[in-house]
Structure 1
Amino acid sequence: MFKPGHLHRANPLDLLHLPKFDIDVFYEVRRDPVEGVLMHFKVVGTIGGREFCEEFDMHRDTAFNFASPITKAVAKHGLPLNAGPIMPEHTEYDAMFEDIRLQLGARTGEPVDFDHLDKDGL
């Protein structure tokens, strides 16, 4: 389920050989005096009955690669890489992408600072 600033995914049963999970992804714009505009992500929930919480920031120009660090975060806690919470429902991925674009005031074709790719772990 998607609403601006929040994506929720759950697998309440052991379906498709995946562990039970209940994951929330929250995101918001933050301003850092040194780094500038950042998108802050908080990924929380349970996977296989174990609670977890991961938080990270992405620079304005790299925030559109949000699926990669979110997938890595949940994989670290037991969800297989090919079962990340972002892509199973592509319409919600598209809505999240658009919401992030609007929150950041970003436009197609803006340049990417390659140093930000390294800082954001991409």
Structure 2
Amino acid sequence: MASFEPGHLHIHREPLQPGDFGYDIKIDYQVVQDPKEGKSMQFDMHGQINKKDFKESFTLPKDMAFNFAHDAFQIAVKHGIPRTADIRAMHGYYDKMFSDVLAQLNHKPGDPIKPEHLE
């Protein structure tokens, strides 16, 4: 199960059998002004993974905000989602979030990326 509205993604999965994993994750995001990087996107993740509460935030500069799914997945793995988890079923919701993140940041195809962000 998943739902999306601008600024918010909610994904949920019940364990299907004993030993399986489950999660209820909410990602809220908003444009912020970072003193060093300028216009950026702050992501606040919270919810439960395998019935354990977690809360973690991260901020990405405008030119790297499109990579939010990588950072969010790393946080989810840190809190208990298996690294091999297949989350392709949520792809359509991530696409909506991706488009919204870029729109909120007024990021256009071809906008430059700072080389130091690629290191």
Would you say same fold, with TM above 0.5?
yes
Structure-1-length-normalised TM-score:
0.86
Q: Which residue of 2 aligns with 1:44?
A: 46
Q: Which residue of 1 aligns with 2:110?
A: 109
Kindly report structure 1 stretches of 4+ aligned residues shifted beyond 4 Å.
Answer: none
Instruction: Measure, in 1, the Cα distance between the counterparts of 2:34 and 2:92.
Output: 31
CA offset at residue 117 of structure 1? Answer: 3.7
Instruction: Measure, in 1, the Cα distance between the counterparts of 2:68 and 2:46.
Output: 15
Q: Which runs of 5+ in 2 are unaligned?
A: none
Q: Which residue of 2 aligns with 1:78?
A: 80
Q: Count how many residue pairs are aligned between Structure 1 and Structure 2.
A: 116
Q: Which runs of 5+ in 1 are unaligned?
A: none
CA offset at residue 78 of structure 1? Answer: 0.4
Q: Which residue of 2 aligns with 1:2?
A: 4
**Sequence identity (%):** 39
Structure-2-length-normalised TM-score:
0.88
**What SS does the aligned partner of 1:107 have?**
coil
Amino acid at match of 1:89: M
- TM-align CA RMSD: 1.7
Instruction: Measure, in 1, the Cα distance between the counterparts of 2:84 and 2:108.
Output: 30
**What SS does the aligned partner of 1:88 have?**
helix
CA offset at residue 19 of structure 1? Answer: 1.4
Q: Deviations over 1:2-54 (max 9, x none)?
A: 11111101113x12764121100111100022220110001111111110011
Amino acid at match of 1:47: I
